[in-house]
Amino acid sequence: MPITRLNHAVLYVRDVDASVAFYSDVLGFRKLDMLRDGFDGAAFLQAEGSINDHDLGLFQIGSDADASTAGRSTVGLYHLAWEVDTLAELARIREALDSAGALSGASDHSTSKSLYGKDPDGMEFEVAWFVPTDKLDEVVLDERKGISRLDLDAELERYGAGTVGGVV
């Protein structure tokens, strides 16, 4: 049987409360009450539009923990990518990331429009909107050969704020 999707991710963090606040305030995750007594230093979060049991697990390892060196001097995960339904939601997240000082980049992959951010521990993540299949014309598919700087305002004009992305 083939794998169909990523169900959840688990991150080790320095301060679980700071991470819960960040993922809740900036990305709209909600903290779930799924922990039993004696399980301090952990939290489980669900994305706003999700029906998953949980989408993100956070485990506190303490303030003395070193930053991840994945990709610089060790192997490891580069980033997680979450998908939003509309460009309006991507624009809202851009503002939230910018306000939190966590926006680290924005790329146009032609078939997807992506923002990059860093959480309180410096771990990078991506939030993306995918061009609907019925809007994938030859221009978009030809542009797919490279990555360019995202002009989100131009994409909002091109596709519309409320256009639902992804495979339809």
Classify residue 21: in a domain, yes or no: yes
3-class secondary-structure state, position 53: coil
pLDDT in tens, 101-151: 999 999 998 889 999 999 999 999 999 999 998 888 776 666 666 789 999
Same domain, 96 and 133: yes
Same domain, 51 and 122: no
Classify residue 75: in a domain, yes or no: no
- Residue 25 one-letter amino acid: D
Classify residue 116: in a domain, yes or no: yes
Classify residue 122: in a domain, yes or no: yes
CA–CA distance, 125 with 77 (Å, rounded to integer): 10
Largest distance between two CA atoms of the chain: 56
Residues 6+ apart with CB under 8 A from 162: 86, 88
Q: Which residue range is the domain that position 146 belongs to?
A: 80-159
User: What is the domain count for the chain?
Assistant: 2
CA–CA distance, 95 with 70 (Å, rounded to integer): 28
pLDDT in tens, 77-110: 999 999 999 999 999 999 999 999 999 999 998 8
Classify residue 128: in a domain, yes or no: yes
